[in-house]
Amino acid sequence: MFMKFLLTVAVVVLIWFGFRFAQRLAMQRQAPREPADQAAKPKPRFTPDADGESVRDLVKCPICNTWRAPNLGTCGRKECPH
């Protein structure tokens, strides 16, 4: 009688730990992961070129409320001054 009880407890414990293991695997699959090589690398930084072409001063248009470089021309609207 005692062996049946121990066997039942062992089966319940085995099922319980199996369920917890399966749940942990499902959580790891859902979590977004970065590859190990990308996590170790520093993120690239913007460094402007020495010629000044990569960085431009922008001007806010009072009509369309957009920021544009003054040498780009008009945005296509009739009332736009740039």
CB-based contact 74:80 (threshold 8 Å): yes
* pTM summary value: 0.38
pLDDT by position in tens, the chain (length 82): 889 999 999 999 999 999 999 999 998 888 776 666 656 677 777 676 777 666 677 888 777 788 887 777 776 777 776 5
Taking phi first (over 0 means left), then psi (-120 to 50 degrees means alpha), and beta for anything else, what does residue 60 get?
A: beta
pLDDT for position 33: 66
pLDDT for position 19: 96
pLDDT for position 17: 96
